[in-house]
Amino acid sequence: MNILNLRKDDFYIPVLKTLDALGGSGQIEEIDSKVIEMTGMTASDLEATYEKSGSLIVPDKISWARSYLKEGGLIINEGRGLWVLTEKGREKLTLGEQAVRDAVTEAMRIYNKNYNAAKATKKKSAPQEPSELVDAAANIELDEVGEWADQLLAKLQSMDPYAFERLSQRLLRKNGFVQVEVTKKSGDGGIDGKGVVRVNLVSFHVLFQCKRYQGSVGAGTVRDFRGAMQGRADKGLIITTGTFTPDARKEATRDGAPAIDLIDGAALCELLKDNRLGVSVEMVEQVTLIPEFFDEI
């Protein structure tokens, strides 16, 4: 499979089928994992990167597919990485691949028409100012896969390893961890730090590992980490700027073994954004009641 020849629309049907198989909704990591499995991606496929940016190609293409499907009204994003299949999405999936492509193409035609109209208005009102609008293809759902995420991942991957560990330490503290320490030991089974997370009245000891690179974390890394934490902690956590192979995700939740939570590059970007660590966000909140939602429960 030539990964460079893949297009975002090659993932339209796999994404819709995945959400349908998951019961109509799914988190990003669930969607990516099943899409990768469905399309038969290999470990080397998942490690392929763009020559210019160094970003991973497959997760990027899947992310853009989600964004275009959202523009077509086939799926919606309910926040915090949760994606939901709409009735329109179910209908188009039943009708087949061409119906899905046509729905997205028509939505993009309308989007581009509005974009060009806004651009023309901008030029008329302020002819001396450079346009602040970006190309339509790069402006859809920036909150999920836009330039900020690529820039953030590139920055994280260029950080000193110890600085990345300190950043992870700070992120964990922002999310309820206490007594978070970064260890300096070598040959400690890949354990980079430890902490305690409190859930209501119960506390859990957690060991974490930070992997600052672009490639995929395999099942062997998860197994080695689990072996190192055996008898020393209640939970394990692996944080990476890359991604996890399907086998790694299966190993992390293998029956009969302590579960290990995984945070990949995309999830890490969202966490840093949500916690405003190195990322500023401007938004205007508008709350509107949707009575139909409650009628359909």
Give the Cα separation of 222 and 246 in Å (integer): 12
Residue percentage of the chain with pLDDT more than 70: 86
Going along the chain from its start, the domains and CATH numbers come out as: 1-145 (1.10.10.10), 160-274 (3.40.1350.10)
pTM, to two decimals: 0.56
Tens-digit pLDDT profile for residues 229-266? 888 888 999 999 988 888 899 999 998 888 899 999 98
Q: How far is CA 185 from CA 167, 182, 231, in A?
A: 18, 9, 18
| Residues 65 and 28 sit within 8 Å (Cβ to Cβ) | no
* Cβ burial, residue 296 (10 Å; 0-12/13-18/19+): exposed
Which residue reads 């060991």 in tokens?
207
Give the Cα separation of 4 and 50 in Å (integer): 8
Amino acid at 93: L
Give the Cα separation of 180 and 149 in Å (integer): 26
Tens-digit pLDDT profile for residues 5-56? 778 888 999 999 999 988 888 888 788 889 988 988 888 888 888 877 777 8
